[in-house]
Structure 1
Amino acid sequence: MATEIKAPVFPESVADGTIATWHKKVGEAVSRDEVICDIETDKVVLEVVAPADGSLVAIVKGEGETVLSSEVIAQFQEGAVSGAAATEAVQSEEKVEQAAANTQAGAAPVVERAQAVQDQAPAVRKALNETGIAAADVAGTGRGGRITKEDVVNHQTKPAAANVTPLSVAVGERIEKRVPMTRLRKRVAERLLAATQQTAMLTTFNEVNMKPVMEMRKQYKDIFEKRHGARLGFMSFFVKAATEALKRYPAVNASIDGDDIVYHGYYDIGVAVSSERGLVVPVLRDTDRMSYAEVENGIRDYAYKARDGKLGIEDMTGGTFTITNGGTFGSLLSTPILNQPQTGILGMHKIQERPMAVNGQVEILPMMYLALSYDHRMIDGKEAVGFLVTIKELLEEPAKLILDL
């Protein structure tokens, strides 16, 4: 008897999702807890696993289709795969492989190309048809060598091999390509636009001499890594300095809910991370209770998760303040956009050596511009400037930060 496979229960903040990839076809054998489908939401990619050993009987929601929380997406049959279903799946795979072999020999008939496209999931077929790329030309990275929509996009943008003569382009011809936004990218765009339209956002700037932190890091980084198993970076200093500044200026750690101001008695700092799917902001919880090593390990783990697409919704839920580091990409100055409903975000930038006046003398110092964007409805200029100056002072005298002075 077939059982229903349903989409996961989405949190209240997630309305729906999109079937990104089916890793298994109808009739193909699957093991218990093996990933059979990826569902992309506006925050994360969720994996759906097989409830037992068996096979898919039917796919209810194809790739590219919208799915609601707990909605049925497939029918599953527990037990051994039937001979007929297994044969059908093998034959389908053989058609694609044969089409690939024929294409490499330069003699793939049109009918086989069409069949190869037809064997793909709906979203993949659509992408192949729109780009004019033959399915046999695309290297599949999905489970069992299946082609995903990302494979088609990557194939389209992949540079030609050195021994392949590039296609001639008519003089004056300008080439364009159109790629649909992912749900995550669309959601990020909506949130950033809403932040600029729904808040009285203002940015104030300052600069910090990074020499004291750099000297401390140079002196203790090897001992720190040996003791804690974590690399001592700059981010832990900024997280701890921001946490202390938030204690002194509670309004920056607050949020606006309708006509109410919500003052948070805890410090959950989001750290903006760039991933292939877009910008994500995982949250470090209770940073006032975290050690420098715990901060560094937490950021490292989130970076690995973001790279592998393993960030969960719980990793990015909440947050009372955000730090973003454009300096990793070489940015010297920027105006970060608020991460609603938060009322403040700190922007770090590239460390640049500049001539500075120190006690009447010119010294070359490693300087960093800091930017604090804030919601002027909630935070006055005096508080914003005081907050930023506090971070500057704590970083320029890190002993005060460590000794809680």
Structure 2
Amino acid sequence: MLELANRRIVLGVTGGIAAYKSAELIRRLKELGADVRAVMTAAAQEFITPLTLQALSGNPVHTTLLDTEAEAAMGHIELARWGDLILVAPASADFLARMAHGHGNDLLTTLCLAARCPLAVAPAMNQAMWAARSNQDNVALLQQRGVHLFGPAEGEQACGDVGPGRMLEPTQLAQLTADLFPRQILTGTRVTITAGPTREAIDPVRYISNHSSGKMGYAIAEAARDAGAEVTLISGPVNLPTPERVKRIDVVSAQDMYAASMNALIQTDIFIATAAVADFRVENSHNQKIKKQHNSSGAMTLTLVENPDIVAAVAKHSPKPFTVGFAAETQDVENYARQKIQRKGLDMIVANDVSRTDIGFNSDQNAVTVIWPEGQQPLELASKAQIARDLVTLISAHYKKAR
């Protein structure tokens, strides 16, 4: 099971014979789905080469605090922000001392100072060094600050001594790393989400659209990613940044979104249609800007034709993904939503009242009712991020039942 899917791990490697195990640790972390970037101290490079860790991680290895090439591509502060966890394995007595006392005289200690994510250390040293009062004080200080301690193990050491100080085995460290993160309920699942409005051209400068901001769909994309899913986001025109670790496909019209959705189905287990797709488009949009007509009536007629119903087409596809629709209504919300479930063949629908000024379009909050053929559950007023997390939990539970 890919328990670390979508997780980013910064692996710090310090000097010591146990550094050779760091290569295997990278393999184990990647097997669990993690993206790994290695940071090596100067002493670590005496035991294992950066090239080895680069080949195993598939990413450049960072070694120098003031490397102009690295700073241009990914500065040390950005690297600290990149990680979901910084794991130092092996962590030498010298490194633990410098970390405990706030040193920032190399790249790895600087990353630990700048990190917003959790920190973990896997000590590796001679048993006498591990037992030394000063080292134990440093370890206790780090633990008081919330640093996670992985090990050490007891056993025979490279120097011939026997006792505590051995670094835990890579398989153990990989599992302890996975255990730090919440269980990912959508690991191994491929989720496609549509979001935002569509724009239906009248002419090159005018279009028909709606007030959708895309915020709900983008929040669901982030929640599904955090739940371990591989996420594809098909987005109409919005002013939102692409969520990290999410594949985004930009579209404009309903026909564009339909084509992108159909293409995505071959790699989709769950399809969540949050987009506010225009129901109609102009039958014959103009290639040039329409000029104002100076006549007695001042009127202009547009002929509209119906757009494809994307979510209904997805629900009819074979094989069918677990299909979740959205019903943005201004009245009789639950009744209209239940009609849509039946008419379109959906597995679930999320209904919300967009006539309310405190939720819905452009708001950062929402309140919805999740409806499925045998029942329903309201999700009370909360941030769209919280609503998205609750939705992903419900969708995951019903998806697994349906399999």
TM bucket (normalised to shorter chain) is: under 0.3
Task: Give the TM-score, by structure 1 length.
Answer: 0.26
Task: Give the TM-score, by structure 2 length.
Answer: 0.26
